[in-house]
Amino acid sequence: MKLLLTTNPGLEDIAGIECREELDCRVVELRKGRGRLIVELESNGVDDYIYTKISSMRSIHSAVLLLATHKVGYSSRALETIYEVTVNSGIENYLSYPHTFAVESKRIGEGHEYHSMDISRVVGQAVVDVSRSKGIPVAVRLNSPSVIVYAEVDDEIFRLGVLLSGERSMHRRGYRVYDHPAALKPSIAYSMFRIAGITDGEVVLDPMCGGGTVAIEAAMLYENSSIICIDKNIEYIKGAIMNALAARVYNRIQFIVGDSTKLDKLLSHDSVDAVVSNPPYGIRMGSPGMVKRVYRGLLYSLYNVLSSGGRAVFITTESKYMARTSEAVGFKVDHIRRVRHGDLWASIILIRKA
C-alpha cells in the first residue's frame, strides 16, 4: 500500500523521518521542493491504527491513499489518459454509502495546456461513469461528501487516490483564535524542532513569539520542558495567551513582555537549551537596516542566555546576514536549508553555541 503525503516544500525529509517513526513505512519517492513524498506500508488496507497514526503526525498537511500513478504529459490530450487511468483505478471500491464524492485537484508545474479545474471535471466524470457501470448509485456532493477523490498532475505525472486526512489541511490545528499577521505554520515549527534536535526536558525559548505558535507546539510535544514565550508587543502576547488557552497548554508556557535584543536582562545566564523562532523579515519590517539591527541585537543577547552547546533555529529571508553575524558573535552555523513560507522562499538556519 502506498501513501502520497504532502508537506511544506523544503521539509520533505522531515516528514519522511516522522512517517518512518509513526508508520514504519519506507520512503519510495521524495519530491524535494514540491512538498511531496510517496511512502510504502506493508499493510494491505487502511485501518483505525493507520488513521490514528496519520492524524497524530505533525509535519504533514495531507495523506492520500494512492491508487494510480501514470505519466500523462503537458498537452490537452493528457485529459484522455487521466480519464482512462481513473476508470481503471478501482476508485469505485472506495465509495462508501451514501456514495457521494467530491474531487480535490491540483496542477503543479508550468507549461500545461489544461488547468486543475479540467482535471477535476475529467476525474469526476470518470468516477461517475465507472461507478454507474457497476451498479453503484453515485453523486457529486461538494459539502461533506462521503469520499474525497484526490487528483494531481505534478509536471508530467498524474496521481490519483483517496484523501485520508479530511478536507482541512492538517497544519491548521484549530487552536488559533488570534491570527498573527505573520504566523508560522505549525508544521514548520515542528520541523524546526526536529532540526534543532530538541529533547523533552530542555528549556525552549521563542524570543519573538508573535501569536505563540512555536511555544504552543513545543508545549504539546515536550511534556517535561520549560517553554518561554517572549515578545515586546503586548498585544501579541495577549494573542499568544488566547491561543494557548484554546490549545489547553497555557499553564505550560511562561509569557514575558520583553525585548529580544535584551534577553540577558530577562533570563538567567546559560539558562536556555534551544531557541526556535520566526523573526521579522525585511519585507515585513519595511527597512533592511532595521532588520540588521534587530538580528544583531538578538544574536548578541542570545549568546549570553544560551547554554553551552545550545542551539537556535530561525526561519528568515536574511539567512546570509544571519549566518555572518552569528559567526561574528561566536556561534557555529550547522545547517541552512531553503523552505517555502507562505508566498516566499525563506531559509531555516541552525546555529550552535560552542
Coil vs helix vs strand at 330? coil
Angle at CA 252, nearest 5°, toward 249 and 256?
105
| Cα 209 to Cα 335: distance, rounded to the nearest angstrom | 22
Task: Please give the tally of structural domains in the chain.
Answer: 2
The residues with which 104 forms a beta bridge, in sequence order, are 150
Give the ranges where 186-255 is alpha helix by DSSP (H). Answer: 186-196, 213-221, 234-247
Type of residue found at 50: I
Whether residue 176 lies inside any domain: the answer is no
The residues with which 153 forms a beta bridge, in sequence order, are 107, 158
Considering the domain architecture, whether residues 199 and 109 belong to the same structural domain is answered as no
Considering the domain architecture, whether residues 13 and 137 belong to the same structural domain is answered as yes
Residue 185 per-residue DSSP state? P
Position 173 scores a pLDDT of 85
| Cα 134 to Cα 139: distance, rounded to the nearest angstrom | 14
Q: What does the chain come to in residues?
A: 354
List, for residues 130-140, the tens digit of each pLDDT value. 999 999 999 99
Considering the domain architecture, whether residues 114 and 244 belong to the same structural domain is answered as no
pTM: 0.92
Considering the domain architecture, whether residues 79 and 140 belong to the same structural domain is answered as yes
The domain that holds 138 is classified in CATH as 3.30.2130.30
Return the exposure string of 147-167: e unless at least 16 CB atoms fall within 10 Å of the residue's CB, then b.
Answer: bbbbbbbbbebbbbbbbbbee
Considering the domain architecture, whether residues 131 and 271 belong to the same structural domain is answered as no
| Cα 93 to Cα 55: distance, rounded to the nearest angstrom | 23
Whether residue 110 lies inside any domain: the answer is yes
Mention every residue, 6+ apart, whose C-beta is less than 8 A from residue 175: 216, 243, 246, 247
Considering the domain architecture, whether residues 11 and 147 belong to the same structural domain is answered as yes
| Cα 210 to Cα 66: distance, rounded to the nearest angstrom | 38
Type of residue found at 335: H
Position 98 scores a pLDDT of 87
Is there a contact between 239 and 212 (Cβ–Cβ < 8 Å)? yes
Whether residue 170 lies inside any domain: the answer is no
Whether residue 174 lies inside any domain: the answer is no
Considering the domain architecture, whether residues 95 and 211 belong to the same structural domain is answered as no
| Cα 344 to Cα 315: distance, rounded to the nearest angstrom | 11
Choose among 254, 212, 269: nearest CA to 236. 212
All residue ranges of the chain with pLDDT < 50 are none
Q: Which domain holds residue 42?
A: 2-163
Considering the domain architecture, whether residues 134 and 267 belong to the same structural domain is answered as no
